[in-house]
């Protein structure tokens, strides 16, 4: 009999919950491999070992090579892997993450497919931003107008507070370096936030594409959830950073480091899990660690998979 070399596949209950993991790790121009239960990152400066069970999302930038064994380990541990573009400002693809259950996905699909339920979730998203004002009867047009005014007011306030000139949000996805330092910082910070939100969403078994405010994009729900935190986290961090760096600084790299620390100290992953559960009416103490598959039945709802039902059919006919 052949013996198995290396660490055994981790069982789902053994893994740290998504809210307890490191928010994200960005790698570029390096070789990503595996040693036992750790991911190794090698470049000209040396090798770093990272315990894979603690990774929330691994962002793979340009010039990165990743081995099959590393991807196998990351997949087993439920880490989300995202291939991103230059400066980390584009999301090209992502790998499968932790949850194997579709229960929360069905809940999400139910809410987004019903106009009344979808509107209630969208209103709840805006209510999280307007804590001192009841928006439960507002139309989507009214909510968008209030949110636009709120964000403009925050940009003006941050501009005055940090002495940074602000001419509005402007960026070119084809030419990141052409943007002003503050717009570069905002873009880099937003992508980091999207990566973390994306990792939490797929780890919970939800669809990144089934949005309630945004629609028509494969990351609509990611943008929905990320918008809950931009004003509190990304915008202040960007203005604070730009006010304290020199003219020739690498804004994208510094912004990634800044928001990484903010995500960790603010326990943002745990906050995202909590908020998504509230939005989808899921109890806070409920965890999805099920690795089971059923067949749908119009009368019994769920029946066991992996069963040859031809024998049952013969019994019914006879």
- C-alpha span between 244 and 251 (Å, rounded): 11
Of 103, 102, 82, 92, the C-alpha closest to 32 is 82
The domain 12-94 having CATH identifier 3.20.20.20: the answer here is no
* Cβ count within 10 A of residue 185: 28
- C-alpha span between 267 and 19 (Å, rounded): 8
- C-alpha span between 230 and 223 (Å, rounded): 10
Enter the DSSP assignment of 19. Answer: G
Top pLDDT among 78 and 182 is at 182
pLDDT at 15 over 50: no
**Confidence band for 99, pLDDT divided at 50, 70 and 90:** low
- C-alpha span between 146 and 135 (Å, rounded): 10
Question: What does the pLDDT read at residue 170?
Answer: 82
pLDDT at 114 over 90: yes
Top pLDDT among 19 and 126 is at 126
Torsional sign, CA 62, 68, 73, 78: positive
**Confidence band for 171, pLDDT divided at 50, 70 and 90:** confident
pLDDT at 166 over 90: yes
Question: What does the pLDDT read at residue 21?
Answer: 57
- C-alpha span between 183 and 314 (Å, rounded): 68
Partners of 302 in the β-ladder: 296
Identify the weakest region by mean pLDDT among 70-79, 119-128, 256-265: 70-79
* Cβ count within 10 A of residue 143: 20
Enter the DSSP assignment of 9. Answer: P
What's the mean pLDDT in 209-238? Answer: 94
The two three-digit tokens of residue 310, written as one number: 């031809």
Contact present, 266 and 232 (Cβ < 8 Å)? no
pTM of the model: 0.68
- Domain map of the chain by residue range? 12-94, 103-279
pLDDT at 156 over 90: yes
Identify the weakest region by mean pLDDT among 140-149, 176-185, 221-230: 176-185
Question: What does the pLDDT read at residue 211?
Answer: 95
Top pLDDT among 176 and 317 is at 176
Of 6, 39, 226, 212, the C-alpha closest to 109 is 212
Q: Which of 12-26, 72-86, 105-119, 294-308 has the highest mean pLDDT?
A: 105-119
pLDDT at 300 over 70: no
The 57-60 sheet, strands edge to edge: 25-27, 57-60, 80-84, 91-94
- C-alpha span between 189 and 262 (Å, rounded): 11
* Cβ count within 10 A of residue 255: 29
Identify the weakest region by mean pLDDT among 221-225, 247-251, 311-315: 311-315
Top pLDDT among 173 and 231 is at 231
Look at residue 26 and give its three-state secondary structure: strand
Instruction: Please write the tens of the pLDDT for every residue from 255-272.
Output: 988 998 888 788 888 888
The phi, psi pair for 277, rounded to 5°, reads: -65, -40
Count Cα neighbours of 225 within 13 Å in the Cβ-side half-sphere.
32
Top pLDDT among 130 and 80 is at 130
Contact present, 206 and 282 (Cβ < 8 Å)? no
pLDDT at 315 over 90: no
Look at residue 283 and give its three-state secondary structure: coil
Place of tokens 């019903």: 114
Contact present, 64 and 29 (Cβ < 8 Å)? yes
- C-alpha span between 274 and 196 (Å, rounded): 14
Question: What does the pLDDT read at residue 12?
Answer: 38
pLDDT at 291 over 50: no
Top pLDDT among 156 and 281 is at 156
**Confidence band for 228, pLDDT divided at 50, 70 and 90:** very high
**Confidence band for 5, pLDDT divided at 50, 70 and 90:** very low
CATH ID of 103-279, from 1.20.120.920, 3.10.20.740, 1.10.3720.10, 1.10.510.10: 1.20.120.920
Alpha carbon 252 to its chain's center = 19
- C-alpha span between 35 and 50 (Å, rounded): 10
pLDDT at 14 over 50: no
Q: Are strands 38-43 and 46-51 parallel, antiparallel or unpaired?
A: antiparallel
Top pLDDT among 310 and 140 is at 140
Identify the weakest region by mean pLDDT among 86-100, 239-253, 292-306: 292-306
């Amino acid at each position: 009999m052949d013996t198995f070399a290396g660490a055994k596949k981790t069982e789902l209950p053994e893994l740290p919950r998504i809210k307890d993991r490191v928010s994200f790790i960005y790698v570029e121009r390096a070789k990503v491999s595996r040693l036992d239960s750790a991911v190794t990152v090698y470049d000209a400066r040396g090798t770093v070992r990272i315990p894979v069970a603690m990774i929330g999302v691994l962002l793979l930038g340009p010039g990165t090579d990743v081995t099959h064994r590393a991807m196998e380990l990351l997949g087993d541990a439920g880490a989300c892997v995202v291939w991103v573009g230059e400066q980390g400002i584009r999301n090209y693809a992502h790998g499968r993450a932790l949850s194997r259950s579709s229960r929360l996905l069905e809940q999400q699909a139910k809410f987004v497919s019903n106009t009344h339920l979808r509107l209630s979730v969208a209103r709840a998203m805006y209510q999280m931003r307007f804590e001192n004002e009841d928006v439960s009867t507002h139309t989507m047009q009214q909510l968008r107008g209030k949110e636009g005014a709120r964000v403009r007011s925050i940009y003006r306030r941050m501009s005055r507070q940090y002495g940074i000139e602000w001419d509005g949000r402007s960026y070119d996805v084809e030419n990141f370096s052409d943007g002003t330092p503050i717009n570069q910082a905002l873009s880099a910070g937003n992508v980091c936030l999207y990566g973390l939100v994306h990792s939490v969403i797929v780890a919970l078994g939800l669809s990144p594409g089934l949005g309630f405010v945004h629609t028509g994009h494969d990351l609509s729900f990611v943008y929905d959830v990320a918008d809950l935190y931009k004003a509190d986290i990304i915008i202040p961090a960007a203005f604070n950073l730009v006010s304290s760096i020199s003219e020739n600084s690498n804004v994208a790299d510094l912004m990634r480091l800044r928001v990484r620390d903010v995500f960790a100290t603010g326990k943002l992953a745990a906050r995202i899990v909590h908020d998504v559960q509230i939005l989808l009416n899921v109890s806070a103490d409920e965890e999805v660690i099920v690795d089971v598959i059923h067949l749908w039945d119009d009368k019994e709802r769920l029946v066991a998979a992996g069963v040859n039902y031809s024998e049952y059919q013969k019994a019914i006919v006879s």
